[in-house]
Amino acid sequence: MLVESRYDVVRIVGKFAEKTITFSKFAFCSFLNLGSIFGTNAGQAQFEYWYRSMTEALKTELVNFSELTGEAGSARRAELARHVATLFALTSDRCSDEQVDIYDSVLLRLVDMVEAEVRRYVAEQMSSLRRGPEETIRRLADDDIEVAEPILVRSSVLRDTDLIKIAEKRGNTHCFAIAQREVLSEDVTSALVREGDLKVKRKIASNDGAVLSDESIMALISDAASDATLQLSLSERGDLAETHIASLVAVASEEVRKRLHASGRSGEAEQLDEAADIAAQRMSNQYWLGRYDFETARSRVLLLAKRGMVNEAALRRFASEDRFAEAVATFAWLVRCGVEEVSHWMVRPNPEPFLILAKASGFSSITIGSLLAIGPWRHRLTPDVRSNAMSLFERMTIAEAKRRMAHWNAPVLN
């Protein structure tokens, strides 16, 4: 039955209440919630009529499941499951934890009594809710993919442990649905890379919201050696470190191109060339610096400087907000260097010249640590390189830094 309006929900569920549902205080709250949605007292008035007719012995039940058994109850089971799911979707934000638990117990039993088409409907209703019946959602997520897909793709109720368990248990169709989520943690992507097929890996590589561990990235690069689409997706990611980019360029070998041409897959061979070109560009300083408007940032910092507001605290604030261009301009003003010169120091894969200048200028470890984690360095420096850089900075004395600066020549500065 098509639900034309929210008023129909009250009318339909009320109809079933007379035959199947025994309302308790939980249902009273649900209908108060519906009444508040509609701006009327319709829900409350209908509830009070039904509630007065219920016996004390049945107050704790929501659904009389004994009336839903057998072939005769099939249509009623399906319709009731749809209506309970719709009712909860409308009132979920207003339900108490106790009410959500009651809905959960009812829906969990109903979804085990209905066909896949109805379970899919319930899954669609539950998939976009910020809070929902957790056991029911887990049950639907572990169903056949026709039912599970909306839950796996959209539901924020599922925890990482749930997603990992399903990926390991269910296989590629479920993994592919999970790979489409807007946000994926490192633990989940690791499971997907480990368990999924090439289609799943391509989806993960192209998902900007997927956080990848170093191990997962290297596994994807290894698989990309014979797959142009995967290479192209990886080359367009913004979170690859310098070592990853170098590895990606290396796997796009001439031998792979020859094999693709020999098998009549010339289009994929051209994709390999494109992926390699993008990856090679990513290894250049100019690629990264071209993303930022240093001229505008310099003007802003000069304006702050006139007000006496350019100091190390301002530099840390820009770093905390990942405003790389402003951080470069501020650092340049504080050390009395040109913005272009400093920008090249703060993009190169080897941060040692920057560290020497920063130490000689008296910056704190907190400030330098924050600068090493923003802008291009957020992607170009591996955790080990960043850690070693901080160790070098903390060991170095100001006097030593100044001595080393005195021996710099033009190639080092540039």
Residues 64-89 have pLDDT tens digits of: 555 555 555 677 888 888 988 998 99
Q: Determine contact, residues 106/135, Cβ cutoff 8 Å.
A: no
Share of the chain above pLDDT 90, in %: 47
The two tokens of residue 60 are 């704790």
Higher pLDDT, 242 or 233: 233
| pLDDT for the residue 102 | 87
Distance of CA 301 to the CA centre of its chain: 34
Considering the domain architecture, whether residues 199 and 134 belong to the same structural domain is answered as: no
Average per-residue pLDDT for the chain: 79
Contacts 24+ apart (CB under 8 A), 310-315: 310/334, 312/363, 312/364, 312/367, 315/367, 315/371
Instruction: Look up the domain containing 25 and give its range.
Output: 1-141
| pLDDT for the residue 248 | 77
| pLDDT for the residue 141 | 96
Residue 345's identity, in one-letter code, is: W
Note whether residue 152 is domain-resident.
no
DSSP 130: S
Note whether residue 400 is domain-resident.
yes
The two tokens of residue 46 are 């209908």
Kindly give, in sequence order, each residue whose CB lies less than 8 Å from that of residue 135, ignoring residues fewer than 6 positions away: 104, 105, 108
Which of 88, 113, 141 is the C-terminal boundary of a domain? 141
User: Residue 48 pLDDT more than 50?
Assistant: no
Question: What is the pLDDT averaged over residues 193-217?
Answer: 94
Query: What is the distance between the alpha carbons of residues 340 and 353, in angstroms, rounded to a whole number?
Result: 15
Q: What angle do CA 330, 407, 399 make, to 5 degrees?
A: 65
Question: What is the pLDDT averaged over residues 4-8?
Answer: 44
Q: Name beta bridge partners: 210.
A: 184
Note whether residue 288 is domain-resident.
no
| pLDDT for the residue 49 | 45
The two tokens of residue 346 are 């703060």
Considering the domain architecture, whether residues 10 and 122 belong to the same structural domain is answered as: yes
User: Residue 333 pLDDT more than 90?
Assistant: yes
Q: Determine contact, residues 181/160, Cβ cutoff 8 Å.
A: no
Q: What is the pLDDT of residues 9-27, one digit of tens each?
A: 444 444 444 444 433 444 4
Please, which pLDDT band fits residue 28 given cuts at 50, 70 and 90? very low
Note whether residue 154 is domain-resident.
no
User: Residue 30 pLDDT more than 50?
Assistant: no
Q: What is the pLDDT of residues 356-380, one digit of tens each?
A: 999 999 999 999 999 999 988 988 8
Q: What is the pLDDT of residues 146-163, one digit of tens each?
A: 999 999 999 999 999 999
| pLDDT for the residue 249 | 73
| pLDDT for the residue 278 | 57
| pLDDT for the residue 60 | 37
Higher pLDDT, 408 or 82: 82
Considering the domain architecture, whether residues 103 and 41 belong to the same structural domain is answered as: yes
- How many domains does the chain fold into? 4
User: Residue 411 pLDDT more than 70?
Assistant: no
Which of 149, 177, 211 is the C-terminal boundary of a domain? 211
Note whether residue 146 is domain-resident.
no
Considering the domain architecture, whether residues 383 and 341 belong to the same structural domain is answered as: yes
User: Rounded to 5 degrees, what are φ and ψ at 288?
Assistant: -75, -45
Question: What is the pLDDT averaged over residues 123-151?
Answer: 95
Distance of CA 307 to the CA centre of its chain: 40
Kindly give, in sequence order, each residue whose CB lies less than 8 Å from that of residue 358, ignoring residues fewer than 6 positions away: 331, 335, 367, 368, 371, 393
Distance of CA 118 to the CA centre of its chain: 29
Q: Determine contact, residues 177/148, Cβ cutoff 8 Å.
A: yes
Q: What is the pLDDT of residues 156-202, one digit of tens each?
A: 999 999 999 999 999 999 999 999 999 999 999 999 999 999 999 99
Considering the domain architecture, whether residues 34 and 24 belong to the same structural domain is answered as: yes
Considering the domain architecture, whether residues 63 and 135 belong to the same structural domain is answered as: yes
Query: What is the distance between the alpha carbons of residues 118 and 80, in angstroms, rounded to a whole number?
Result: 10
Sign of CA dihedral 344, 346, 352, 354: positive
DSSP 348: S
Note whether residue 52 is domain-resident.
yes
Q: Determine contact, residues 328/346, Cβ cutoff 8 Å.
A: yes
| pLDDT for the residue 363 | 96
User: Residue 224 pLDDT more than 50?
Assistant: yes
Which of 262, 283, 304 is the C-terminal boundary of a domain? 283
Cβ neighbours around 91 below 10 Å, total: 22
Considering the domain architecture, whether residues 1 and 137 belong to the same structural domain is answered as: yes
Q: Determine contact, residues 98/26, Cβ cutoff 8 Å.
A: yes
| pLDDT for the residue 209 | 92
Note whether residue 44 is domain-resident.
yes
| pLDDT for the residue 203 | 96
| pLDDT for the residue 10 | 46
Considering the domain architecture, whether residues 220 and 326 belong to the same structural domain is answered as: no
Considering the domain architecture, whether residues 298 and 259 belong to the same structural domain is answered as: no
Note whether residue 112 is domain-resident.
yes
Cβ neighbours around 411 below 10 Å, total: 6
Q: What is the pLDDT of residues 378-406, one digit of tens each?
A: 888 888 899 999 999 999 999 999 998 88
Considering the domain architecture, whether residues 188 and 64 belong to the same structural domain is answered as: no
3-state secondary structure of 83: helix
Considering the domain architecture, whether residues 365 and 327 belong to the same structural domain is answered as: yes
3-state secondary structure of 302: helix
User: Residue 296 pLDDT more than 70?
Assistant: yes
Quote the crossing angle between the two packed helices 145-154 and 134-141, to the nearest 10°: 120
User: Rounded to 5 degrees, what are φ and ψ at 184?
Assistant: -130, 125
Question: Is the pTM for the entire model greater than 0.85?
Answer: no
Query: What is the distance between the alpha carbons of residues 176 and 2, in angstroms, rounded to a whole number?
Result: 31
Q: Determine contact, residues 21/53, Cβ cutoff 8 Å.
A: no
Considering the domain architecture, whether residues 9 and 137 belong to the same structural domain is answered as: yes
